[in-house]
Amino acid sequence: MTDRQSTAVNEQQKTLLLVDDTPESLTVLGDILMPHYRVRAVNSGARALAAAASEPRPDLILLDVMMPGMDGYEVIARLHAHPDTRDIPVIFITVLDASEGEARGLALGAADYITKPVNPAIVLARVRGQIDLKEARDRMADQNAWLEAEVKRRMRQNQLIQDVSMRALASLAEARDIATGKHILRTQGYVNVLARELAKLPKYAMTLTHEVIETYTKAAALHDIGKVGIPDCVLLKSGKHTHEEWEIMKTHAKVGADAIWRAIQDEKDHASLEFLHIAMDVARHHHEKWDGSGYPEGLRGDAIPLSARLMALADAFDALLVERVYKLAFTVEKTTEIILGGRGKYFDPDVVDAFVARLDDFRAIAARHANES
């Protein structure tokens, strides 16, 4: 097929809508255009709007300006006001002198302007030009849509890889201590609930955005990653630890944070690794206490990263509520009593207040992710 034949076939697939209240004008335009395009014709503004919104949708509209009832200016305004027709190019056709109506028509969004009596060669050239422009715009829109979809797909893929990798790392620590069961899922849920409740307070609203809350929730899974460095004889010991054993156990906070730091310290784009920086804070500081009596650095109050303050309560609630090799499970009531007793001492008062406000959610998360018997 030659280029000329290909162009002719392509033109025949294009639909033009002719709008004119004069039958003679429709006949003249039809005779010029029908050999090249699929043509639909209507004789009023109201019918033009209906035809433009029905199949086959026009690729281009040739619109008479001076029509009784609804004139061409109103038609184009309505076309551009509707999302289904706003992108259809319009060529105005009129007997008016160009200086009288052309500026107004172009201001309303007309793509071009042809005066009557029409010249067949000019009509064909103007129509072909607008059809070509629309095809180029459509191709660009399709390419942009494809690129946008591809970017979103790759972002979802990268996020999925990050999430799966994070869960795999977190599972290493959990696999060492089977007694913790679904501890990771529960504590992630608790951190999410606490953060969303705190976000209601003016002092946290700017910090705890939806994106930050999601990052805190995901980072919570790595809080005990350092337990992979604790010997089994200490980590899995049944009963109370000796002083020496407890000092070894406490090192898991620093071990976990240091492991994450070693993975990211040589990367220059730290902004892209914000998730791991927060995970490092959570791993290092989730055993700090509000009054400064925690470990490993003895941080006090707001000096403790917010992510770690949330994790501290979430971790403590789960440790109290669930049976471990060194203790029996406490009831929700007893656990809540202990948490309240630590308000302003072990835990951030704001975080404890958020816990009280969302206690029912804590109960639901604990039940949903209960350890298997």
Does residue 281 register a pLDDT over 60? yes
Nearest 10 degrees: Cα torsion 44, 49, 51, 55:
180
Does residue 178 register a pLDDT over 60? no
Select the more confidently predicted residue: 113 or 303.
303
Looking at residue 4, its pLDDT comes to 47
Cis peptide before 120 (omega within 30 of 0): no
Looking at residue 271, its pLDDT comes to 62
Looking at residue 101, its pLDDT comes to 63
Dihedral of alpha carbons 363, 367, 372, 373, sign: positive
Mean pLDDT of 322-348: 91
Looking at residue 275, its pLDDT comes to 83
Spatial contact of 280 and 260, defined as CB atoms under 8 Å apart? yes
Which amino acid, residue 195?
A
Mean pLDDT of 241-258: 92
Looking at residue 1, its pLDDT comes to 47
Spatial contact of 299 and 333, defined as CB atoms under 8 Å apart? no
pLDDT 10s digits, 212-240:
999 999 999 899 989 888 888 888 887 88
Mean pLDDT of 252-276: 81
Looking at residue 241, its pLDDT comes to 87
In sequence order, the β-bridge partners of residue 297 are none
Give the integer Cα–Cα distance in Å for 252 and 231.
10
Mean pLDDT of the chain: 87
Q: What is the pTM of this model?
A: 0.61
Does residue 5 register a pLDDT over 50? no
pLDDT 10s digits, 102-142:
677 778 888 888 888 889 999 999 999 999 998 888 888 88
Spatial contact of 49 and 64, defined as CB atoms under 8 Å apart? no
Highest mean pLDDT among 79-83, 175-179, 347-351: 347-351
Looking at residue 296, its pLDDT comes to 96
Does residue 11 register a pLDDT over 60? no
Select the more confidently predicted residue: 323 or 22.
22
Confidence of residue 325 (pLDDT cuts 50, 70, 90): low
Does residue 100 register a pLDDT over 90? no
Domains in the chain (CATH in brackets) are: 3-146 (3.40.50.2300), 177-368 (1.10.3210.10)
Looking at residue 10, its pLDDT comes to 54
Looking at residue 269, its pLDDT comes to 63
